[in-house]
Amino acid sequence: MIAINMIRSKKYDEAKENLEKARTIYLNKFGSKSIYVGDNEMRLGDLAYYADNFEEAAFRFDDALSIYKNIFDKYHPKYVQAQGKLARSKFQLGEYKAASAILEETSEKYMEYIEQYFPTLSDKEKNKYWNNIRGDFELYNSLALRYAVEKPSALGIMYNNKLATKAILLSSSIKVRQNIISSGDQELIKQYEEWLSKKELLTRSFSMSQEELVLKAIDRVNLAKEINLLEKQLSEKSEAFASSKSKTYDWKDVKSVLADNEVAIEIIRFNFFNKTFTDSVIYAALIVSPESKKGPELVLLSDGNKLESRYYKGYRNSIKYKIADKYSYKFFWKPVDDKIPNNRTIFLSADGVFNQMNVETLRDGDGKYIIDKNDIVLVSNTKDIAIFRESQDEKPDKESITDEYLNSSAALFGNPDFTSSISGSTESQANTVSSFAPLPGAEKEVEELETILNSKKWSTETYLGAEATESQVKKLDNPRVFHIATHGFFVQESTVHEDILIEAKTIDNPLLKSGLLFSGSADLLGDNIYNFNKREGVLTAYEAMNLKLDHTELVVLSACETGLGEVKAGEGVYGLQRSFLVAGAQNVIMTLFKVNDQVTQELITNFYKNWLATGNKRVAFNIAKKQVKNKYPEPIFWGSFVMIGMN
């Protein structure tokens, strides 16, 4: 500990003297293959690294690896941590081939661990594990940029890593557990709990030494067999459990399902590595097309820090205030657009600031909007293209459109009575409540949709005014369409939301920061946000994750800024869109800006009419946006609406 503090204080000579003394003591007492010597070598490696002596650092980390290899499993955190530090040292020495080989090995271990053991971890544990390992993946990104000319396949590995890790915390494990527990099938529940227990034991075992495994009589081989048997039984009995298992995809799998006029783009945001991770933000676009041979094509966007600050602010202000935007296309999209011919379908998996904007609203040098040049399809991860198309190939012949709609149902919510649960309000309460403006346009929107859907023999359940309650939402059971026309909210730290004036406190879970308002929600004004999950009126994004939407084709969030939330690099937006996807919805329509009620009503009704006429949601949505664009040219009217999902 003394030596560690000396390293932090940059007293390198004193630290080295203490560590060398400790090394002699450990060698004499425990021998050269003890964990104490291995840990001491790691500290000596850290010391050398921070003193810019990268050759010695590499030697020390390699020595620690040799010691750990005889003590631990290859998944043990100490072993993998030593590999990561060795890779950093090799990177600093310019030995990119060696660094690449090490990182490719560690990423395989990480992926195997995630595939096998993530389902048993809590959200907090998943976050902690991912935060511990993400540095190695970001290091590989920096390495790939420097090494791509010599090793083009590095870009393919960079892409594959992103397929495996992007939105990695967008997990349905909580939903799977709820479905099984609420099934009432005691045998299924018992098997699931036994599976959890054995998986947790196997997960813990990877942090144990061989001596601990023998002492606790843990046989990993037999334990793994028992787990596999339970997984088979659970998959046979639970559709939710079976669908939670996934296979691994790479860039070639994505390429193989693309049509001639399609491209897939992964936007990757990361901090550049130079000895340590710097404040310099990098945005890279990796493009895969049917013509891709050696790997994805790399496009770098300049000055990621400005993209996230000044340039994004300029983009948003130009939309909000209807100002001609001369710069955003150049900064955010031109380098990508130059690589893609017109009239292509672009499957775009966003990252970072790209989650907060709609590239369709960008205008090129000829004054043409991207929406008029290419068809943008937003996906959480471009592997979704392969997953979706493989699932379509496995399905039997589809029903005719007419038969399909005969079996369709929709749950429609609009214009909740926000004050309905309040009794005996004081005058000051009444003034507060006035900030929850009624939404007569939303009510008209829902009534029109009910008429449109009923004319096509859809089964509809409509909830307006006082009947549009949070509890009614929680009773839903897989409608084909779930449409909500109400106020949404997103609470930012240390601010007051301009619409609903909920005091923002420090909130650990970002999914508690956004939600939808239903009947009686005005009574919660100014309440502690943690109580929202306990009281009627506000459906938080956290609660929305557990709605029964596993067979729901479309969720429409017809409210202002429902696409907002806390953006995390590599993870997307922690908000309503994420929650409804976790809940099982195939597609989500949402908004990025405040939108005029009349225009919203026009766009949404046009969308449903087009969908029922064509049977294609994606085409219908684009037509509806262009219909509004023809009438109201400014992007604020049509560019706020985005759809995420493959179907």
Please, which pLDDT band fits residue 72 given cuts at 50, 70 and 90?
confident
C-alpha 453/C-alpha 404 separation (Å) is 13
Average pLDDT of span 238-255: 83
pLDDT of residue 526: 54
H, E, C per residue of 446-459: HHHHHHHHHHCCCE
Residue percentage of the chain with pLDDT more than 70: 84
In 3-state terms, what secondary structure has residue 190? helix
Number of H helices, E strands in the chain: 28, 16
- Does the pLDDT of residue 198 top 80, yes or no? yes
C-alpha 193/C-alpha 261 separation (Å) is 47
pLDDT of residue 39: 94
- Better-scored residue on pLDDT, 100 or 491: 100
- Cβ atoms of 22 and 1 closer than 8 Å: no
Structure tokens belonging to residue 303: 């000055």
pLDDT of residue 179: 76
- Does the pLDDT of residue 174 top 70, yes or no? no
Residue percentage of the chain with pLDDT more than 90: 54
- Does the pLDDT of residue 532 top 90, yes or no? no
- Better-scored residue on pLDDT, 544 or 437: 544
CATH assignment of 2-164? 1.25.40.10
Question: Could you give the count of Cα atoms lying within 13 Å of 644 in the half-sphere of its Cβ?
Answer: 29
Question: Could you give the count of Cα atoms lying within 13 Å of 158 in the half-sphere of its Cβ?
Answer: 32
Please, which pLDDT band fits residue 506 given cuts at 50, 70 and 90?
very low
Mean pLDDT, the chain, as a whole number? 85
Vertex 253, ends 176 and 568: CA angle to 5°?
A: 55
Which range, 69-78, 379-388, 563-572, has the best average confidence (pLDDT)? 379-388
C-alpha 302/C-alpha 246 separation (Å) is 35
User: Under 8 Å CB-to-CB from 647, ≥6 apart: which residues?
Assistant: 388, 553, 586, 587, 617
Q: Indicate the Cα dihedral angle 366, 368, 373, 379, nearest 10°.
A: 120
Length of the chain: 647
Structure tokens belonging to residue 528: 């502690």
C-alpha 118/C-alpha 130 separation (Å) is 10
Question: Hey, CA dihedral for 117, 119, 121, 127, is it positive or negative?
Answer: positive
Structure tokens belonging to residue 337: 């657009």
- Better-scored residue on pLDDT, 115 or 85: 85
Render pLDDT for 588-647 as a digit per residue (tens, 0 to 9): 999 988 888 889 999 999 999 999 999 999 999 999 999 999 999 999 999 999 999 987
State the CATH architecture for 396-644.
3-Layer(aba) Sandwich (3.40)
Scanning the structure block, which residue is given the tokens 């009624």? 438
In 3-state terms, what secondary structure has residue 1? coil
Burial of 51 (0-12, 13-18, 19+ CB in 10 A): middle
User: Under 8 Å CB-to-CB from 186, ≥6 apart: which residues?
Assistant: none
- Cβ atoms of 441 and 595 closer than 8 Å: no
pLDDT of residue 201: 85
pLDDT of residue 528: 53
DSSP designation for 63: H
pLDDT of residue 623: 97
- Better-scored residue on pLDDT, 310 or 208: 310
- Cβ atoms of 566 and 553 closer than 8 Å: no
pLDDT of residue 114: 78
Q: Indicate the Cα dihedral angle 136, 141, 143, 148, nearest 10°.
A: 150
Q: State the pairing for strand pair 587-591/641-644.
A: antiparallel
Average pLDDT of span 377-390: 93
Render pLDDT for 137-165 as a digit per residue (tens, 0 to 9): 999 999 999 988 899 999 999 999 999 88
C-alpha 582/C-alpha 575 separation (Å) is 11
Average pLDDT of span 290-318: 95
* Residue 27 parent element (H or E): helix 12-30
- Better-scored residue on pLDDT, 68 or 12: 68
pLDDT of residue 422: 41
Chain CA centroid to CA 136, Å: 19
C-alpha 311/C-alpha 218 separation (Å) is 56
Please, which pLDDT band fits residue 468 given cuts at 50, 70 and 90?
very high
Question: Could you give the count of Cα atoms lying within 13 Å of 393 in the half-sphere of its Cβ?
Answer: 7
In the chain, the N- to C-terminal Cα span, in Å, equals 56
- Does the pLDDT of residue 355 top 50, yes or no? yes
pTM: predicted TM-score of the whole model, two decimal places:
0.86
Residue 357: phi, psi to the nearest 5? Answer: -135, 165
Residues paired with residue 484 on neighbouring β-strands, in sequence order: 413, 557
Vertex 380, ends 377 and 381: CA angle to 5°?
A: 95
Which range, 57-71, 115-129, 509-523, 561-575, has the best average confidence (pLDDT)? 57-71
- Does the pLDDT of residue 430 top 60, yes or no? no
Q: What is the CA radius of gyration of the chain?
A: 27
In 3-state terms, what secondary structure has residue 331? helix
Please, which pLDDT band fits residue 111 given cuts at 50, 70 and 90?
confident
Number of Cβ atoms within 10 Å of the Cβ of 28: 8
pLDDT of residue 643: 96
